[in-house]
Structure 1
């Protein structure tokens, strides 16, 4: 089995044990810095509409992030951090 499968399987076992009251689950916390959404989008070379579509959000949501009226959180923040490190990750991953 792959490392990813083994990690997921271990996490599920821990979650079941925790649900049954048999010990604490392991909690992994990752500190993700506040993303500069406009800079991240610019690094991809995509327009606002193209970038919003590529990450599955409405253009209005992207505009709110870029103008700092709202902040991305949860999975969107993780995805933006990944794009910041590798601007072509979305296109490469989804086009394969």
Structure 2
């Protein structure tokens, strides 16, 4: 929101973030839904709703998905899973 307001005032460029697709991230990391849910800090049923499109992904969750996409082992180590 801050970025959008700054852009509207002419104070900076708009930053467009590419959408993150949880299923693609999970499959790229070679994880099951049951393995992915704890990495995201959520229940398996809630995670499944993301993949089914029944729940929307928040900004912080999208950032964590991008991190998992790039460095899945680092996230596992950081979360001690």
Q: TM-score, normalised by structure 1?
A: 0.58
Gaps of 5+ in 1: 1-28
Runs of 4+ residues over 4 Å off in structure 1? none
Q: Computing the radius of gyration over CA atoms, which structure comes out larger, 1 or 2?
A: 1
- Distance, in Å, in 1 between the alignment partners of 2:15 and 2:69 is 16
* Residue in 2 that maps onto 1:61: 46
Aligned length: 67
Aligned residue among 11, 18, 35 for 1:50: 35
> What pairs up with 1:13-92 in 2 under 5 angstroms?
31-92=16-77
3-state SS of the aligned residue for 1:88?
helix
Gaps of 5+ in 2: 1-13
- Distance, in Å, in 2 between the alignment partners of 1:60 and 1:54 is 14
**Alignment RMSD:** 1.9
- Distance, in Å, in 2 between the alignment partners of 1:48 and 1:68 is 14
Work out which structure has the larger RCO, using CA pairs closer than 8 Å and 6 or more positions apart in sequence. 2
- Distance, in Å, in 2 between the alignment partners of 1:35 and 1:89 is 19
Deviations along 1:10-35, whole A, 9 cap, x unmatched? xxxxxxxxxxxxxxxxxxx8543211
Q: TM-score, normalised by structure 2?
A: 0.66
